[in-house]
Amino acid sequence: MKNIQNFDFDSLDFKLDFANFNPDEVETDETINAVFVVDTSPSVVTYINELNNAFNEFTENMQKSHIADKLFVSIIEFNKDVNVISGFQPVANIPKMDFSKRIAGYTSLYDGVHKALENALNYRENLENSGVETKTLLFVITDGEDNNSKKSPNSIKKIIDKLKKDEKSAFSFTSILFGVGNDASFEKAQKEMGIEHLAKIGMSGNQMKKMIGFISQSISTVSSGKPHAPVF
């Protein structure tokens, strides 16, 4: 992976502690690293309870699944700031989430995704240096367009394009943007960031469950050795 790590990650904050699980203590030959980048701007209050319930159901189900020992999860929230809720940890260590606790103004979508990619790639390299093969899934959940980021969407696209051009990485990295509601140009954000897949969903509990069900299916698909996520 060193050949794809030659980026100038000028926004990397070395004082920010992701608290990733120690790669030397990973007891499996392969991990699936799922990173959730979640919008916690004020507009999410209309569906936050449904998102909480769906995400916590996902965690409980994955903790009981046959791939629990190799599934690692990271959670990053964004509003006016980017908040690392959890670095990569075994899914068994992920507690019940309440995304309503840190709701704040503005939408730093690009900053959140960029920070998530930085950590995902750095942790991936650390795992591979420890002899652990890694597959990475990036799930971005937002209901609005960026209005506060310092990073540009093109800076994200460059990273993803570089990954896709690397033969090994192209089949072990998947990115999906979930656009919640109808008030934003999600196609524009997807294209500008270079995210591979877009799924538009509503704000109801059923739609949140459908999204989480899709995420679970995506993880299972990748675990089985298939290169891409299923169709939403």
- Mind listing the pLDDT tens digit for each residue in 26-71? 999 999 999 999 999 999 999 999 999 999 999 999 999 999 999 9
Tell which wins on pLDDT, 38 or 168.
38
Dist. CA 88–CA 46, nearest whole Å: 28
**Cβ(215)–Cβ(141) below 8 Å:** no
Q: Which pLDDT score is estimated for 206? A: 96
- Mind listing the pLDDT tens digit for each residue in 85-138? 999 999 999 999 999 999 999 999 999 999 999 999 999 999 999 999 999 999
Mean pLDDT, rounded, for 183-206: 95
Q: Which pLDDT score is estimated for 6? A: 45
Q: Which pLDDT score is estimated for 4? A: 41
Res. 231: pLDDT tops 80 = no
State the chain's mean pLDDT as an integer. 90
Q: Which pLDDT score is estimated for 2? A: 37
- In single-letter form, the type of residue at position 91 comes to V
Which sequence spans correspond to the domains of the chain? 28-223
Q: How much is the pTM?
A: 0.90
Q: Which pLDDT score is estimated for 167? A: 73
Tell which wins on pLDDT, 119 or 168.
119
Give the DSSP per-residue string, 142-181. ESS--SS-SS-HHHHHHHHHHHHHSHHHHTSEEEEEEEES
Tell which wins on pLDDT, 166 or 177.
177
47: which 2 tokens?
């569906």
- Mind listing the pLDDT tens digit for each residue in 2-19? 344 443 434 434 334 578
**β-pairing verdict for 30-39 and 71-78:** parallel
Torsion, CA 172, CA 221, CA 85, CA 127, rounded to 10: -40
Q: Which pLDDT score is estimated for 198? A: 96
Res. 75: pLDDT tops 70 = yes
Dist. CA 120–CA 134, nearest whole Å: 10
The superfamily (CATH) of domain 28-223 is: von Willebrand factor, type A domain (3.40.50.410)
Share of the chain above pLDDT 90, in %: 82
